[in-house]
A and B are shown apart, each in its own frame.
Chain A
Amino acid sequence: MGKLFAVILVVIALASAIPIVTHTWYGSGINLAPPPDISTHGYAIDKQLSETMVEAGLSFLAAQLLLAFFVWKFAGRRDDQPIKTFPGGAKVVVIAALVLVGTEILALGVFGQKAWANVYFMPSAPDAMQIQAQAGQFAFYFRYPGVDGKFGVLHPDKIDEGNSNFFGLDPANDMESRDDIVSGELAVPVNREVLLLMHAKDVGHSFYVRELRIQQDFVPGLDLSVHFTATKVGKYEIVCTQLCGLGHYNMKAYLNVLSQEDFDSWMKQKVSEQ
């Protein structure tokens, strides 16, 4: 009976590994594959994810096979036989397991930090295009500095959504805010670095674009930023991935990656609407 259990363990472990190793689930039927990467940094994230997958997969298989080995070896012990223990006792096993798992986690962190730090620790290029993103219940709004290249100051007391003043600008007194462009979609030119200055209006939100391989929280009171370069023209969904209230399910916007000419005419259109 014990030996049968060992065999079942091996079969289950191998059976669950086969579809992952052969990638049968990748891009067919239920599509669990990540969407194509459209950023300059995304390949590092993807590489890190597949490395993590491989390492975790191998550890999983090793652990299951080891378990099956012990089950097989010590199955069918008769009651009159003494219980055998691992040489050196449990202490050695526990320490060995801790060191093994610890090294693995540490290695993932050390090798993974490069992918992460390229986005979060490296500053953007000085000529990156600055766009302010504001998250509020339950919509994103994006602000471009306009022709003067300067953002007007925010006055939270001036926020008037019924009048489409989502940021709390004061055009009556603040010249710099008069040409600011506010949009419900995030339009960016292709192959141009964008520095997104993130601002939460009310509660915590998140900015997630799968194709960009970026997920960053908005935190009220903190000036956070992310920078990215989109490399493929297209329209991509921006979703809020931080439960923010009743309308969370409907909190989304679109990232519109445009060619430089299309972006210029988009901008012209927006300027005429202001």
Chain B
Amino acid sequence: MSRNHLLAALLVTVAGPAWLFGAGTVSGKVTYTGTPAKQKTIDMSKEPSCAKQHATPITTETVVTGPSNVLENVVVYISAGAADESSAPAQAVTFTQKGCQYIPHVLAMRTGQELKVVNDDQTSHNIHPLAKVNHEWNKSQPPGTPPLSEKFEKEEFIPVKCNVHPWMRGYFAVLKTSHYAITADNGDFSLPNLPPGKYTITAWQEDYGTQTQDVTISGSETKTVDFTFKAKPY
């Protein structure tokens, strides 16, 4: 087999369905109705090395909103209908502790994908994912130590806390599918490269829970699916 043939065969295998039948896209916006709870100012006075990194004190990120009622940090993914996918991408995802805050606040990854945890602070952190389905662990990370490397084998939304700094909170969204997106500050998401088929789209917000919608893709079309969560005042 020539080199070109090999490449073509590889392309058919990897991008087969999309390449052959055209690929659809599901995109949309996540918004809320009502009044969300006011986010609380975080008092880091206990850890001056972190407090001084924030010109204005940061707030909790339980509900992060944008103009015209959009919701940020919502994980939108295909929860049913997509073909089983094999191995996780080789590239690792990174979760950084900086200024005694988790960046990003919500980190999505594939099952089995490498997770790197970085401590950029001058203080020790103790990263503790409160996993229920996966194996729960907590690891201490003094300043200057190299990134920790971990992975999760099962699909789960995992709250993450720091055992040293009670205000720190983040989430891992461990997903089987590669079709996922996290809404940015405009509330938009887009799930491209979907072969024709019937899919269940799930949107997850850490405080408001999950919503699902079904959508059918035929050919290379773009379907709009919007989600609206009901905000809680407290």
Report whether chain A binds chain B: yes
Chain A interface (Cβ < 8 Å from any Cβ of B): 136-140, 161-164, 166, 171-172, 182-185, 246-247, 250, 252-254, 273-274
**Would A161 and B166 count as touching, CB distance under 8 A?**
yes
Chain B interface (Cβ < 8 Å from any Cβ of A): 38, 40-47, 57, 60, 62, 123-124, 126, 140, 159, 161, 163-167, 169, 207, 232-234
Tell which of B40, B46, B163 touches A163, judged by Cβ atoms closer than 8 Å. B40
Interfacial chain A residues near B47, Cβ < 8 Å: 250
Whether A247 touches B164, Cβ cut-off 8 Å, given contacts A163-B40, A184-B45, A184-B46, is: yes
Interface centre among A250, A252, A254 (most CB of B within 10 A): A250
Please classify the interface of chain A as helix (H, G, I), strand (E, B), loop, or mixed, using the class held by over half of its residues. mixed
**Would A137 and B169 count as touching, CB distance under 8 A?**
no
Interfacial chain A residues near B234, Cβ < 8 Å: 171-172
Whether A172 touches B233, Cβ cut-off 8 Å, given contacts A164-B60, A184-B44, A273-B40, is: yes
Rounded to whole angstroms, the CA-CA distance of A253 and B43 in the bound complex is: 11
**Would B40 and A138 count as touching, CB distance under 8 A?**
no
Please classify the interface of chain B as helix (H, G, I), strand (E, B), loop, or mixed, using the class held by over half of its residues. loop
**Would B163 and A137 count as touching, CB distance under 8 A?**
yes
Shortest distance between the CB of B23 and any CB in chain A (Å): 37
Interfacial chain A residues near B159, Cβ < 8 Å: 162
**Would A247 and B126 count as touching, CB distance under 8 A?**
yes
**Would B166 and A253 count as touching, CB distance under 8 A?**
no
Interfacial chain A residues near B43, Cβ < 8 Å: 182-185
**Would A139 and B163 count as touching, CB distance under 8 A?**
no
Interface centre among A139, A161, A163, A253 (most CB of B within 10 A): A163
**Would B124 and A163 count as touching, CB distance under 8 A?**
no
Q: Which residue of A lies closest to B123 (CB)?
A: A250
Interfacial chain B residues near A182, Cβ < 8 Å: 43
**Would A164 and B123 count as touching, CB distance under 8 A?**
no
Whether A246 touches B60, Cβ cut-off 8 Å, given contacts A172-B234, A184-B43, is: no
**Would B126 and A163 count as touching, CB distance under 8 A?**
no
**Would A253 and B45 count as touching, CB distance under 8 A?**
yes
A162-B169, A172-B233, A273-B57 known; 17 new pairs, CB 8 Å cut-off, are A138-B163, A139-B46, A139-B166, A161-B161, A162-B161, A172-B234, A182-B43, A185-B45, A185-B46, A246-B140, A246-B163, A247-B126, A247-B163, A247-B164, A250-B124, A250-B164, A253-B46
Rounded to whole angstroms, the CA-CA distance of A195 and B56 in the bound complex is: 31
Interfacial chain B residues near A184, Cβ < 8 Å: 43-46
Question: Can you list 18 residue pairs at the A/B interface with Cβ under 8 Å?
Answer: A138-B163, A162-B161, A163-B40, A163-B60, A164-B40, A164-B60, A164-B167, A171-B234, A172-B232, A172-B233, A172-B234, A184-B43, A185-B45, A246-B164, A247-B163, A250-B123, A273-B57, A274-B40
